[in-house]
Amino acid sequence: MTGKRKDLLNMLCDLSDLSALVTGSENIENFLQRTAVLVSGHLGTPVCSIYLYDETTDELVLKATVGLNPEAVDRVRMGSGQGLVGTVMATRRSVCEGRVSKNPRFRYFPETDELPYESFLAVPIQKGAVKIGVLVVQHTESDYFDTTDITALKATGAQLASVLENARLLMDLQRLCSIPQRAVCNLGFIKGQRTVGGFAHGRATVWRKSHVRLVSDSPDAEGGGMVDFRRAIGKTAEQLDTLQRRCAERLPESASLIFAAHFMMLKDPKFIDRMASKIEAGVPAIRAVRDVAAKYIDLFADSPHPYIREKVSDIEDLAGRLISNLAPSSPDGDGDSSGRVIIARALYPSELLKLAADSVAGIVLVNGGVTSHVAIIARSLKIPVVVAPCTELLHLPADTPVLVDGEVGNVYVDPAPDIVARFDRARQQVITRQTPVPVGVARTADGTSIDLLANINLLGELPLAREMGAAGIGLYRTEFPFLIRPSFPSETEQYLVYRRVVAAMDDKPVVFRTLDIGGEKALAYSDTAREANPELGLRAIRFTLAYRDIFEQQVRAILRAAAGSPSPGIMFPLISSVDDFLRARQVVRDCLDQLAAEGMDHHAHPAIGMMVELPAVVETMVEFTAVADFFAIGTNDFVQYMLGVDRSNKQVADYYRPEHPSVLRALQRVVRIADEHEKPISVCGEMGHDAAMIPFLLGIGIRRLSIDPQFMPAVHRRIAGLAIDRCRDHVRKLVASGSIDGVRKILAGS
Ligand code: PEP
Ligand code: MG
C-alpha cells in the first residue's frame, strides 16, 4: 500500500470518529473546523476550506478554513456558478487545477488574505440531488495534486455529506432563531428572479395571513369594548366598500364578488351577534372576534367541500380587518396596502387581487415558486414581482423602505439615496419606453406584413390593446374570470364579460380560448380531485369535456357574446387527438343548435380552431388541417411538453429551452403543413415576443403573432429590421443544428 493510500484510509477513519461527535455535544462550527484541520493535515495542504450551500440565497458560504484568514468565515459568499468554487457546486463536478491563476474563473476574495496557492482541488459535497457544499484544498506548489488526492478528497466529500447535511440544517435553524427583528435591515441587496417587470419603492408589509393576527398574542389583544366593536364594524364596512369600488374599476370581471362573502358575514347576525354577546358578557372585543372567528374557521376548514374550505380565508381576512381596526396601534394599521411593497412567502390569485384593489406598489415572493397565473395576473395588473431567495425578508420590520426592481429582479432593503436616484432615472426611461405608440400593421424591411394581435387575460388590458393598434385579439384567456371569482360564473355572467371584449375590439377578430383550468391553474372552489401530476391530468379541454355542463355554458356565452362580431373564433386548448377536437367541436355545434332553437341572438358561424401545445399534434397535423379552421401555437406549453419540463418549476428551469432543436424542427413542420393546407396559423405563446426567436418564426412562415400588448412596440421594431429571405436562411442554419449549444451560437451570431 502506498503512503498516500494508507493516509487516505487513516483520514477516512479519523473523519468517521469525528463525525460521530457531531451528533453528540460537539458544536457544529467546531466540527467543521476540526474537519478542515484533519483534511489539511492528512493531505499535507496548507489550505483546506469548507463552504456550505445556503439554499435561501443560492450562495456558498465559507464556514471553516485552515490557511485562509479566519475572519473570512461567514463573510466570503459566492453565488452557485460564480468563481471556481461556485462552478464546482453548480456543475457538481470536481475541479483540479495545477496553475489556478491561469483559470479565468478563479476568483480572489481580498478578505481571505489568500497567498498565491497555485494548486487547487475542490470537490462537491452532495447528497443525492441535494447540494450541501464544496470542500477545497490548496497548495503553493504547482501541479501538487494527483489522482490519488482527487480520489481521497472525493471520498472525504462523500463521507461528510450526511453529517454536513444535518449540520447545515441545524445551522439554518440557529440562524433563523437568532435573527434579531431589526438586524435584517442590514440585508441591503438581494438578487432575485425577475418575474414581472416594473419598479416599486415603498414601505414594506410582511404579508401574513390574517389568521396569524388572529392567533397572535399582542398586548392589544385584550382591548376594546362594545363601542369600539361597533366602530370597528363601521370602519371595516367602509374599507371593504372602498376596496370593492377599486376592484370593480381595475377588474370589472370580478364585479363585486371578491368581497361579497365579507359583506355577507359582516351583516350576518349569527356571526356578529355572537361576538357582541361575548363582549356584553365582559370578554374584551378583540378576544371575542378572535374566538368566534376561530370557531367558524374550524367548522369550515373541516368541510369536505373545497368551496366551503375556501371561505376560511374570507373569515380570516374579515376577522383580521376587524382586529386591526380594534387595535389601531397594530403595525398593519388599517390594513391598507396602498403604495406598499408586500413581502410574502406565496400568494393565491385571490389574495393578489385584493392587494391589487388596494393598489400595492410591488410584491416580493420569498423563496416561493410563482405559478404562471399569479405571474400573468400581476403582469396584467402591472404589479412588479420579484422572487427573492431570502427568508430573512419575512422578518423585516413593518415600514422598512424597500425598492423592487422587477426589470432585473433586484430587491434593495432600506436603499441608499444614490440607489433611489438611479432607480428613479431607470423608471423614467422605462416609462418613456413604454409610452404607448400605436403600432398599426408591422412590416418587415422587405415589405411583408405581419399581423400583431393581443393576448388578453383581464378586461383591464383591453384599452392598451386598442391604444397599441392591435389587429384583434389572438388569445383571450377565458379562465381568468373563473380564477378570480369565488365560484363558477354563470352563463349570463360570462356573457357580460365576453360581450365587453367583443365590444372593445369593434370589428376586429377576437379568438376566445375555452377554459384552460386544471393543472397549476386549479380553481380553489372546484370539487375536482387533487392529481399527482396535474400538468398531465384533467387539464384544459380534458376538463371541459369531462364537465360538459360547464363547457356548454361557456360556449353558449361565447356564441351569444360574439353576435354581430364579423370574425369570432373559438379555440380549444391542449388538444391531443383529432378525436378530442371533433368531440369539442360537436359541443360547439350542439350549442349552436340549442341557441337557434331557443331563438337567442348569437353568432352562427364562428371559426373553430385549436392550440398546438402538445407534441402529439405534430404527427397528426395533416389530419388536423382537415377539421380545424385555424391554429395557434402555444409555445409555453409546447416547450413544456416537448421537453418534459414543468414550466413553473424553478429547479428545472435550465431544461426549459425554447431554442431546443426538437422544438424548432417541430414548429417548422407544423407551420409548413398548415401553410400547405392553407390554414391560418399564429403563435400566441411567449416566444412570439422574444426578440431572439422572431426571425426564426418569420423564417418558418409565421405571419401572425399574438402577444401581450405591452410588447407590441418592441416587436414592431424588431420586425421592421428583418428581411424574410434572411430569416429563411437563418432558419436553415438553425434547424441544421442538433444541439442546444449549436442553436445558441447561431442565435447569438444573428
Ligand atoms: C401557451 O401554452 O403558450 C399559451 C399561450 O397558453 P397558456 O400560457 O395560457 O398556457
Ligand atoms: Mg397553454
**Segment 492-510, tens digit of pLDDT:** 989 999 999 999 998 899 9
- 181 alpha carbon, distance to own chain's centre: 28
CA distance 430 to 382: 13
Query: Which atom of ligand 1 approaches the CA of 455 most closely?
Result: 5
Q: Which amino acid is at 102?
A: K
Q: Which of 16-30, 318-332, 369-383, 670-684 is the least confident region?
A: 16-30
Is residue 65 helix, strand or coil?
Answer: strand
Q: Is residue 183 predicted with pLDDT exceeding 70?
A: no
**In the Cβ-directed half-sphere of 96, how many Cα atoms lie within 13 Å?**
12
Highest mean pLDDT among 76-85, 229-238, 248-257, 559-568: 559-568
| From 511, 631, 637, mutation site for ligand 1 pocket: most ligand atoms within 8 A of C-beta | 637
Determine if ligand 1 sits within 6 Å of the CB of residue 637: yes
Name which residue leads in pLDDT, 600 or 248. 600
* Beta-carbon count within 10 A of 636 CB: 18
Q: Which ligand is nearest to the CA of 639?
A: 1
- Helices marked H in 281-388 — which ranges? 285-301, 306-309, 311-326, 349-357, 372-380
* Ligand number with the minimum distance to the CA of 683: 1
Q: Mind listing the domains of the chain with CATH numbers? A: 8-178 (3.30.450.40), 184-208+336-421 (3.50.30.10), 224-326 (1.10.274.10), 454-612 (3.20.20.60), 631-750 (3.20.20.60)
Number of the ligand closest to the Cα of 483: 1
What whole-number distance in Å separates Cα of residue 701 and Cα of residue 687? 15
Pocket test for ligand 1, best of 453, 455, 477 (most atoms within 8 A of CB): 477
pLDDT greater than 70 at residue 702 = yes
Q: Which atom of ligand 1 is nearest to the CA of 479?
A: 9
Q: What single-letter amino acid sits at 159?
A: Q
201 is catalytic: no
What amino acid is encoded at 460 in this protein? G
Q: Are strands 449-456 and 95-97 parallel, antiparallel or unpaired?
A: unpaired
Using the atom order of ligand 1, give the atom closest to the CA of residue 687.
Answer: 3
What pLDDT, on a 0 to 100 scale, did the predictor assign at position 171? Answer: 58
Spatial distance between the Cα atoms of 26 and 65, rounded to a whole number of angstroms: 18
Residue 636 C-alpha to ligand 1 middle, in angstroms? 5
Catalytic position from the list 684, 689, 716, 730 = 684
CA dist 628 → 258, 592, 603, 604, 681 (Å): 38, 17, 18, 17, 11
Catalytic residue status for 390: no
Mutate which of 636, 639, 693, 702 to test ligand 1's pocket (most atoms within 8 Å of Cβ)? Answer: 636
684 CB less than 6 Å from ligand 1?
yes
136-150, 307-321, 366-380, 528-542: segment of lowest average pLDDT: 366-380
The residue length of the chain stands at 750
Alpha carbon of 636 to ligand 2 centroid (Å): 6
Q: Provide the grid cell at 97.
A: 487545477
E strand intervals along 406-486: 410-413, 442-443, 449-456, 473-477
The three cell numbers of residue 640 are: 413544456
DSSP-assigned beta bridge partners for residue 436: none
Instruction: Indicate whether residue 636 lines ligand 1 (CB < 6 A).
Output: yes
Nearest ligand to the CA of 635 is 1
Q: Whose CA is nearest to atom 3 of ligand 1?
A: 634
Confidence of residue 1 (pLDDT cuts 50, 70, 90): very low
pLDDT class of 486 with cuts at 50, 70, 90? low
Which cell goes with 62? 465559507
In the predicted structure, residue 432 carries a pLDDT above the cut 50: yes
Q: Is the CB of 634 under 6 A from ligand 1?
A: yes
User: What is the residue type of 364?
Assistant: V
- Categorize the per-residue pLDDT at 418 as very low, low, confident or very high, splitting at 50, 70 and 90: confident
pTM: 0.67
Helix (H) / strand (E) element for 544: namely helix 541-546
